[in-house]
């Protein structure tokens, strides 16, 4: 009987925690409160930034901040204008450029975005940088980290979820957050997003960059360059291996949608 009650509570919980991703409308299950996701991720982001070497190139750092802020502002005003401002409640955008030869970038919940210097050789101008930053902003807005954490909690079974969500005990969330962010990785907070999340971030990223006035078609040239220069270790934004050809094909598919939002 107790088990059955647990099952019903779990079902109700799952139904009530089902939300949809802005713009794509995809249904997702978010079991962890935004507050808990933010608390756990801000600690890890802070730890990362403490040890990371910030870029000393002022022009490039300014470029990352300038393009990032523009995309974040356009995204925010769109969400506000469409009654979705709660999606980014408690967000506080930060855009950093750090020293590393890796062609990489990542985003943590709440809008904390880090770009590695190693990706800059593939970037000719603000518009191509907007491809990367739009993608990372999209991961944050779509709450992919929360979804990953929720998937792991689900995998741990119903009772764990109940303890977690109802009791709000932070220990398990912390553990799960640790797995999601790949703690222990040598130099990186690595979010192993699924291919589905990568494609969704690409799709939304094109729209966000377009809203900020950057031509989404630059994504094709950027990803072509990235594919040609790929080293043995694929960067996060390619880490779940949509093959390059597939990725570019998907981008082409999203393009008409993205161009509707493109403000010249």
Residues forming contacts to Zn ion in the complex (CB under 5 A) are 201, 237
Q: Which is nearer to Zn ion, 183 or 190 (CB)?
A: 190
Q: Which is nearer to Zn ion, 163 or 234 (CB)?
A: 234
Which ranges in the chain belong to alpha helices (H)? Answer: 2-16, 34-51, 58-81, 126-141, 144-155, 158-167, 170-180, 195-211, 218-228, 244-261
Which three-class secondary structure string do you get for 103-114?
CCEEEECCCEEE
CA atoms of 71 and 51, how far apart (whole Å): 27
Q: Which of 136, 198, 200, 236 is catalytic?
A: 136
Residue 59 CB, shortest distance to Zn ion, in Å, is 26
CA atoms of 81 and 3, how far apart (whole Å): 45
Helix or strand or coil: residue 147? helix
Q: Which is nearer to Zn ion, 6 or 234 (CB)?
A: 234
Residue 169 CB, shortest distance to Zn ion, in Å, is 30
> Which region holds residue 19: left if phi is over 0, alpha if psi is between -120 and 50, else beta?
beta
Q: Which run of H or E residues covers position 29?
A: strand 27-29
CA atoms of 165 and 158, how far apart (whole Å): 10
Q: Which is nearer to Zn ion, 34 or 200 (CB)?
A: 200
How many residues make up the chain in this entry?
A: 264
Residue 201 CB, shortest distance to Zn ion, in Å, is 5
Whose structure tokens read 């300038």? 66
Residue 160 CB, shortest distance to Zn ion, in Å, is 27
Q: Which is nearer to Zn ion, 70 or 139 (CB)?
A: 139
Residue 139 CB, shortest distance to Zn ion, in Å, is 5
**CB-based closest residue to Zn ion:** 237
Does residue 136 have an active-site annotation?
yes
- Residues known to be catalytic: 136
């Amino acid at each position: 009987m107790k088990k059955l009650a647990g099952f019903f509570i779990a079902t109700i919980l799952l139904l009530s925690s089902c939300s949809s991703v802005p713009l794509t409308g995809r249904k997702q299950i978010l079991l962890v409160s935004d507050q808990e996701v933010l608390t756990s991720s801000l600690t890890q982001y802070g730890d990362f930034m403490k040890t990371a070497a910030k870029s000393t190139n002022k022009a490039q750092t300014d470029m990352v901040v300038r393009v990032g802020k523009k995309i974040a502002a356009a995204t925010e005003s769109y969400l506000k204008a469409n009654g979705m401002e709660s999606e980014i409640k408690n967000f506080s955008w930060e855009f950093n450029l750090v020293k590393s030869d890796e062609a990489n970038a990542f985003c943590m919940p709440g809008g904390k975005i880090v770009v590695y210097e190693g990706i800059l050789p593939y970037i000719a101008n603000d518009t191509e940088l907007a491809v990367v930053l739009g993608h990372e902003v999209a991961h944050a807005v779509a709450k992919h980290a929360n979804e990953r954490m929720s998937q792991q909690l689900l995998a741990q079974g119903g009772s764990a979820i109940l303890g977690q969500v109802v009791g709000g005990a932070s220990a398990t969330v912390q553990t799960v957050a640790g797995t999601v962010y790949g703690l222990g990785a040598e130099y990186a907070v690595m979010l192993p997003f699924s291919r589905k999340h990568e494609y969704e971030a690409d799709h939304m990223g094109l729209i966000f960059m377009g809203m900020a006035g950057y031509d989404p078609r630059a994504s094709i040239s950027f990803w072509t360059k990235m594919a040609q220069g790929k080293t043995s270790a694929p960067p996060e934004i390619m880490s779940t291996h949509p093959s390059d050809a597939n990725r570019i094909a998907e981008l082409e598919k999203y393009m008409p949608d993205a161009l509707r939002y493109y403000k010249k």
